[in-house]
């Protein structure tokens, strides 16, 4: 099959600007759903207690066959379908995650191979629950610079694998899932209008996951004895105060940069941490709570995946329409926080004329999968051959030495 013609990144001419538009969106969630009642079977809690304090009723939990990369892959494929873009047209893949498949290679690289995006760059970005906004900003800057034309940004998490399921303060809050968007360059004004990225590392002891650094966890003075290597810890009260402070501040700052006010926004898509945080943010911004897109009741906190998952559902429900100004806001470990203002300029996709492209994508996905499988199999065969060759040489030398001794 002939390779798809690669589109080159546009270069701004004199007086011409490049804008980064979101043209595709998709999400994926594990099949298994764990309700609050399910949790109460093995931890001291109730549905009423969880709902009243968090707004969460259920969450999706990954099976052994569902991973950070496989969920991210499904979300990316769904976003490419909406954008009607072939994987061979992707220039860059950024994966925001705190639960990567490996320390390296990056989860983005795994997804890149399975997509068949053979000419794209790929890397992971770690900014916890702010990661998706950070990643969209990185892709936007690359597009505006003219170095790339098309980027896929993915937020994907399997937090269920880093939770301490005996800790009622954290295990009730999180779920697994993935969301993705496709951004492309355009001369049409709109798309990502502004962003604010912030961090305060002095709050790094408030929530995190001790991992494979270079020191024993017991030697970290800011960590309590109850913190477990590879499991999440959180000071919920301090994180709540931090989140309620930075949401309003960062959205206001992003609006100022874009030359807009809060009255210009049609929707705010926040990180889905806790309904009480959203309610406090609404009071701080002096807006009705209904402007916030919230679905933590069904997905819980999916960290870097929460904003794109909520975005996808808001678009599907008609809450976000072409011409609307919307805002993203994330906050979490680091401490990190970020806000972004976007002018939504993409009409709902039309099915007519899209069947051929969808079929081509499916073919490319299958080819990519077999390419990965074949490449790994051939390397394993080559390794066996390389081990056999020295052994054959050694046996041949022993035989020659034996023949000489017999003479």
Q: At what angle do helices 68-83 and 107-115 cross, to 10 degrees?
A: 50
Which is the catalytic residue, given 271, 274, 295, 325? 271
From CA 319, how far away is CA 306, in angstroms rounded? 17
Residue 44 CB coordination number (10 Å): 8
From CA 405, how far away is CA 407, in angstroms rounded? 5
**Residues comprising the chain, all counted:** 407
Q: Quote the Cα angle for 236-239-243, to 5°.
A: 135
Catalytic residue status for 295: no
**Residue that is written with structure tokens 């961090």 in the block:** 199
Which is the catalytic residue, given 36, 274, 295, 301? 301
Residue 255 and residue 261 in contact, taking contact as beta carbons nearer than 8 Å: yes
Which is the catalytic residue, given 21, 95, 129, 295? 129
Catalytic residue status for 271: yes
Catalytic residue status for 129: yes
**Residue that is written with structure tokens 């892709």 in the block:** 139
From CA 265, how far away is CA 56, in angstroms rounded? 26
Give, as one character, the DSSP assignment of residue 174. B
Give, as one character, the DSSP assignment of residue 230. T
Residues that are catalytic: 129, 271, 301
């Amino acid at each position: 099959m002939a390779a798809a013609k690669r589109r080159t990144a546009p270069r701004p001419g004199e007086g011409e600007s490049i804008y980064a538009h979101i043209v595709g969106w998709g999400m994926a969630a594990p099949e298994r759903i764990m309700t609050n009642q399910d949790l109460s079977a093995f931890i001291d809690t109730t549905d009423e207690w969880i709902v009243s304090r968090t707004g969460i009723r259920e969450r999706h939990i990954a099976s052994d066959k569902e991973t950070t990369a496989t969920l991210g892959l499904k979300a990316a494929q769904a976003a490419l379908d909406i954008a009607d873009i072939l994987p061979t047209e992707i220039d860059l893949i950024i994966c925001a995650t705190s639960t990567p498949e490996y320390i390296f290679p990056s989860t983005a690289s795994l997804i890149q191979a399975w997509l068949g995006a053979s000419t794209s760059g790929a890397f992971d970005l770690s900014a916890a629950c702010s990661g998706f906004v950070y990643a969209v900003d990185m892709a936007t800057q690359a597009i505006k610079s003219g170095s790339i034309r098309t980027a896929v940004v993915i937020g994907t998490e399997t937090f269920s694998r880093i939770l301490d399921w005996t800790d009622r303060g954290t295990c009730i809050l999180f779920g697994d899932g993935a969301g993705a968007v496709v951004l492309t360059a355009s001369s049409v004004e709109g798309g990502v209008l502004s962003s604010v990225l912030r961090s305060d590392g002095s709050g790094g002891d408030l929530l995190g996951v001790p991992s494979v650094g270079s020191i024993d966890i017991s030697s970290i003075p800011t960590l309590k004895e109850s913190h477990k290597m590879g499991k999440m810890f959180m000071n919920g009260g301090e994180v709540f105060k931090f989140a309620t402070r930075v949401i309003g501040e960062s959205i206001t700052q992003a609006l100022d940069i874009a030359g807009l006010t809060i009255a210009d926004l049609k929707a705010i898509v926040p990180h889905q941490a806790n309904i009480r945080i959203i309610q406090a943010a609404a009071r701080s911004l002096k807006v009705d709570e209904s402007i916030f897109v919230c679905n933590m009741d069904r997905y819980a906190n999916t960290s870097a995946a929460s904003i794109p998952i909520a975005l996808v559902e808001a678009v599907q429900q008609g809450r976000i329409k072409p011409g609307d100004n919307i805002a993203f806001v994330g906050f979490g470990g680091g401490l990190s926080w970020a806000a972004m203002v976007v002018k939504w300029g993409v009409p709902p996709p039309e099915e007519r004329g899209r069947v051929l492209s969808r079929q081509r994508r499916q073919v490319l996905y299958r080819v990519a999968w077999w390419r990965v499988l074949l490449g790994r199999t051939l390397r394993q065969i080559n390794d066996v051959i390389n081990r056999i060759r020295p052994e054959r040489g050694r046996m041949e030398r022993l035989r020659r030495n034996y023949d000489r001794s017999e003479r």
